[in-house]
């Protein structure tokens, strides 16, 4: 859901991931964390799909804001909506890092390996995301007090 923003697309993505994982089951190394392996496959399929959409549309960029976000159910739905809206406004690279580390519980190293980037890049993306989210929270809080 974090990547696709649409339940039906997310379902198809999971199904494609399962099919690819079954086809390549011999590639999993004994003792390796299978969830990381699955997410690597899922991420690869997603990136390929985004690229294919760009080609079909004749564009070089897909604006992530075009996709409708469906928030995950939280106890406090209003707060959850606000958090999801702010996270969804992050650039895709930052959003993926936030998802892997803060939602999925990956270590920085695991997230870096999954996304095939250096650990420092993950750290930088998370730091930028935190600054952006903190700024948006402060701005929203200030608007709420002045209303």
Q: What is the pTM of this model?
A: 0.51
| Domain edge (last residue) among 66, 85, 107 | 66
Could you list the residue range(s) of the whole structural domain that residue 39 is in? 1-66
Q: Residue 75 pLDDT > 50, yes or no?
A: no
68 pLDDT band, cuts 50/70/90, is very low
- The model's pLDDT over 21-58, given as tens digits with 9 standing for 90+, comes to 888 888 877 877 787 788 888 888 877 777 777 666 65
CA dist 106 and 86 (Å) reads 21
CA dist 128 and 141 (Å) reads 20
105 and 54 belong to one structural domain: no
Q: Residue 144 pLDDT > 90, yes or no?
A: no
| Domain edge (last residue) among 42, 66, 90 | 66
Instruction: State the sign of the Cα–Cα–Cα–Cα dihedral 101, 107, 108, 109.
Output: negative
What is the mean predicted confidence (pLDDT) over 139-143? 56
Nearby residues of 46 by Cβ (< 8 Å), 6 or more positions away: 3, 4, 13
47 and 90 belong to one structural domain: no
Q: Residue 72 pLDDT > 50, yes or no?
A: no
């Amino acid at each position: 859901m974090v990547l696709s923003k649409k339940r039906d697309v997310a379902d198809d993505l999971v199904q494609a991931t399962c099919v690819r994982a079954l086809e390549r089951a011999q590639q999993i190394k004994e003792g390796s964390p299978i969830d990381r392996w699955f997410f690597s496959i899922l991420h690869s399929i997603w990136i390929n799909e985004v690229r294919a959409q760009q080609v079909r549309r004749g564009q070089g960029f897909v604006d992530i804001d075009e996709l409708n976000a469906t928030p995950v159910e939280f106890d406090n739905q209003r707060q959850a909506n606000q958090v999801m809206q702010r996270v969804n406004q992050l650039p895709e690279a930052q959003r993926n890092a936030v998802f892997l580390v803060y939602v999925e519980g990956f270590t920085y190293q695991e997230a870096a390996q999954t996304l095939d980037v250096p650990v420092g890049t993950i750290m930088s993306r998370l730091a930028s995301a935190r600054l952006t989210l903190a700024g948006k929270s402060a701005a929203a809080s200030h608007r709420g007090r002045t209303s």
